[in-house]
Amino acid sequence: MNRNEEKPIIELLPPLNKRCEMIVRIFRISFTLIPIIIGIWAWLKFGWLYGLFFWIVGVFAGIIILSKLKIAYIPLNQHELSHSATAILKWYVAKRFC
């Protein structure tokens, strides 16, 4: 790294109040439990193979939604960094609701 080269500025995660933290928790629990619930429902209704299929589809849908949220709400210079689902949801809630 050259001396003249500037380090990229990384924005810190905005601080969240209690209400916003609760919204983040609700979203995180939803992203975890909804595919499981749909998979269990499909398993009981149609059979284990359909349950597995619906669970996998639900997980993929959640991953796609999280990637869209990452692109839309995390600052541009931080897109290449690794972010957890909770961090992505915190950025989303901080910019959208708080």
Q: Is the pTM of this model over 0.85?
A: no
8-43 confidence digits (pLDDT tens): 677 788 788 999 999 999 999 999 999 999 999 999
The C-alpha angle with vertex 63 and arms to 59 and 64, in degrees rounded to 5, equals 120
Rg (CA), the chain: 18
Q: CA–CA separation, 86 vs 67, rounded Å?
A: 12
What letter does residue 76 receive in the DSSP assignment? G
Give the whole-number percent of the chain exceeding pLDDT 70: 92
